[in-house]
Amino acid sequence: FGEAEWIRDTRSTPPQWKLEFERGVSTFPLPQQTVYLTPKAELRDIYGQGKGATILLGVHVGSGETPCYAELNELLGKHTAILGSTGAGKSGTVAAILHSLLERGGREKYDKWHPRIVVLDPHNEYGTAFPNAGRLSTDEKSLKLPYWLLDLQETIALFIGKTEHAATSQTNVIKNALIKARESGAVPLSIPPGRITVDSPVPYILGDPTGLDEFGKKGGVLYIEGFIGEINQQRPNNQNKKDHEEFNKVIRKIETLLRDTTMNFLMEAWDNEADPFGEVISQLLGKGNPVRIVDLSGIRNDVAGIASAVIARTLFNYKLWQSHEEREADPVVLVCEEAHRYVPDKGEAQYEAAQEAIRRVAKEGRKYGLGLLLVSQRPSEIESTVLSQCNSWIVHRITNDTDRKHVQSILPDSLAGLTKVLSGLRRQEAIFVGQAAVLPSRILIRTLDEKQRPRSHDIDFDKGWQTDPLSDEQLKKIAERWRLQQR
């Protein structure tokens, strides 16, 4: 006796009488009907079919090395979640998908092939796997996300921070100064000030906070231009230290950020002349590299969250303001590693500033041609509404019962039985289900060359301890890099 789940129908169509399969069931089998083993040739017909464009994902387990293809538009256009425990092969799967996408450009039927893929890389894993990709890094000073690109909430998060988020008075100071600074910045760019809002991506002068950490009188010798000047203008006209403390807190925070060399990508001053907005977008989506890897590993968590939020929001608004024809010609994919940091199911996000931006991409991005690949080793900690927006899932080994049950809860009832094998999957093996899969399958992700794989962060203790300890000179160099914040 056995039990089977009926997923697809088959039919033969003339004149070749070739087998074709389609999702859904029109005729159910009856008791006592004969069951046949499927020949390898028919397995290839079943698994090898896909509507429209497909990319190679790997091979089907137990089917004689039958290739597994993913339907490209379903995989990218309707969002995909890549889940699994640490070390199960998630990053390798992301790399396999991206390499398969890039390799399509070499096929004869494509005269042109220009993917637009942005990868948020919190651990600097993907740089070695894609040496020809555009690498945006704070270390190499190639990442530019200027402070004026931040919206009100991101500006508050940067200049006030979590510990002061409840200070309404500071929030009002920031809001009033921000709108006035943007209106001033709009003038040399010939932008009508009446069209400016507090969130408009209009560059503005930040100003010099030197000497303003002491309370002072409004105007006079303490008057300066720009955003900080607008903050200073709101001070009460008295010498009471308590009345000035809320202003001083904000100014001291800005001064600290300006001194931090790791923040140069965010705090570089605007020259009040050229409009750099187009260049900011171009670094992410301009001509050239089909893959742009944003290395966030050299940025502390609170700032990495703001940077991620700015990138996700910039991509979304870029797509939002395109014409219909531009959207059709310019689809974009955003890859989010460590998705549980951005959109946790409970509590505060580790990258709190990015939470709303990623949530909006998940809910609305597909309408504008912005696809999402969510990657996480903690599926139970990802916001359920975001995970439910994914129409396809590639699930690697999961040993945690809570995570396994969570994955089971988001899959259709007819596929929930597949989760029983999750704890026994080998490295690189995964369950592939959803709209991008021809059939729900157990697959082995394609094996990449060593140079095509993401950098492994698993340190070999056995090998490491067989080498000589670091010299005093090496230790000094490490200390110097630490002190100067230069890797």
Pairing of strands 370-376, 291-295: unpaired
**Cβ atoms of 285 and 116 closer than 8 Å:** yes
Query: 310 φ, ψ to 5°?
Result: -60, -45
Tokens coding 301:
């968590």
* pLDDT of amino acid 148: 92
What is the spatial distance between Cα 453 and Cα 97, in angstroms, rounded to a whole number?
11
* pLDDT of amino acid 465: 92
Handedness of CA 45, 50, 55, 59 (dihedral sign): negative
**In the chain, what are the domains?**
8-42+51-144+277-457 (3.40.50.300), 148-267 (no CATH)
Return left, alpha or beta for 124; rule: phi > 0 is left, psi -120 to 50 is alpha, else beta: left
The model's pLDDT over 361-403, given as tens digits with 9 standing for 90+, comes to 999 999 999 999 999 988 888 888 888 899 999 999 998 888 8
Please tell me what DSSP assigns to residue 117.
Answer: E
Residue 177 Cα distances to 207, 227, 234, 357, 372, angstroms: 12, 6, 8, 24, 35
Strand partners, 295: 121, 137
Strand partners, 68: 58
Cβ partners under 8 Å of residue 460, min gap 6: none
What is the spatial distance between Cα 178 and Cα 116, in angstroms, rounded to a whole number?
33
Return left, alpha or beta for 109; rule: phi > 0 is left, psi -120 to 50 is alpha, else beta: alpha
Strand partners, 71: 54
Tokens coding 122:
């919190």
* pLDDT of amino acid 219: 41
* pLDDT of amino acid 200: 92
Strand partners, 334: 118, 372
What is the spatial distance between Cα 273 and Cα 244, in angstroms, rounded to a whole number?
33
* pLDDT of amino acid 392: 93
Cβ partners under 8 Å of residue 227, min gap 6: 177, 178, 181, 204, 205, 206, 207
What is the spatial distance between Cα 14 and Cα 416, in angstroms, rounded to a whole number?
36
Global pTM reads 0.85
Please tell me what DSSP assigns to residue 22.
Answer: E
The model's pLDDT over 17-40, given as tens digits with 9 standing for 90+, comes to 566 666 666 777 888 888 877 777
User: Which residues does the chain have with pLDDT short of 50?
Assistant: 1, 164-166, 213-223
Q: 208-220 b/e with 16+ CB inside 10 Å = b?
A: bbeebeebbeeee
* pLDDT of amino acid 216: 47
What is the spatial distance between Cα 131 and Cα 475, in angstroms, rounded to a whole number?
29
Query: Residue 338, SS3?
Result: coil
Other Cβ atoms closer than 10 A to 462 = 7
- CA 358-363-364 angle, to 5 degrees, is 100
* pLDDT of amino acid 410: 78
